[in-house]
Structure 1
Amino acid sequence: MAKTYAYALLLRGINVGGHRKVPMADLRAVLAELGHGDVRTYLQSGNAAFTSAMRDEARIAADIGRAVERRFGFAVDLLVRGGPYLRAVVEDCPFPAAGLEGKQLHVTYLSDNVDPGRLASIDAKAFLPEEFRPGDRALYLYAPDGLGRSKLAAVLARPALYEGIVATSRNWNTVVRLADMTGETTDA
């Protein structure tokens, strides 16, 4: 049998406020129709884990993007990330994740690293005790009172910060779960 690789799919901005609806059963069907295996979804916010014989994350993402647009009638930003990368995001967390609630820690996954100059323009001290740290195609955010009350999260969500970059955020519980889901698959 062919070797397969585990991936997570992260869709951005779907199923929010009744707009851009993507039922998870339909998303699983799209992934299966593209030939991906062991397809599972997590929550209703556009998270899926699957296996593929393909190694090219960008090509997989482009194929999924076209299929999603055909199926649902709108384009959606998305990222595909392999299991080893997702585990590294968890392991490289610069904050004491074990001692925090999932709602206090978030990761913004990025299609590319943000220009350090853009991040340097943020007056980090003005937002303490909230903090952020860049990672490998990721941005970690510690928001002790949660994302909804975070002033730093609002600054980090500005489109100019990510110009030309796809960015989508997940809370720590989802970050860990996606790493676990892509680690639960085995090579065929």
Structure 2
Amino acid sequence: MTTPAAIAIGCSAGGVDALMTLLGALDARLRQSVLVCCHRSDAMDILGDVLGRMSVLPVIEAVERQPVQAGVVHLAPSGYHLLVESDLHFALSADPRVNYSRPSIDVLFCSAAEVWRQALIGVILTGANADGAAGLQRIRELGGVAIVQSPTDAEATAMPQAALDMAGADYCLPLPDIAPLLNRLCLGSL
């Protein structure tokens, strides 16, 4: 397996709690860029602060033309699609919603897959719609690794189940097992 360069994570309903669990259990030595797309309302503009208190890695909200940083959690801002460009800078888009969502997990995952290909890990967590399934499929098509939270473990089962139905997964695990797996994959101890 190629050493991962980035981890893209998508979630929706129940996602804040899931992200707090996952980000809090990552190894502080990780040098991979972490990109997070969590469906949220404008009222959740404190999400970066909430996650920052739990995460072992710094959490920042991505802005237009900001370079992707190693060892940092980049959060898709509310109301904008987050894309990764080939020069490893972020682009924000106010294009129409995808799967009723902006930011869309599919948009982020597909752009990240084109940039990192087999060096990308995609993670789908709890959520109430099918956003992320097509993006996870694209990650797998380009040689990346797909991890899906077990639907039986998710607060909302629709998103992980849709991802499994469309893309399948290299790993399907309960939430508490996902961060340890990421640590092993990224730090080379698998």
| TM-score (normalizing by structure 1) | 0.26
| TM-score (normalizing by structure 2) | 0.26
Structure possessing the higher relative contact order (Cα contacts under 8 Å, 6 or more residues apart): 1
Larger radius of gyration between Structure 1 and Structure 2: 1
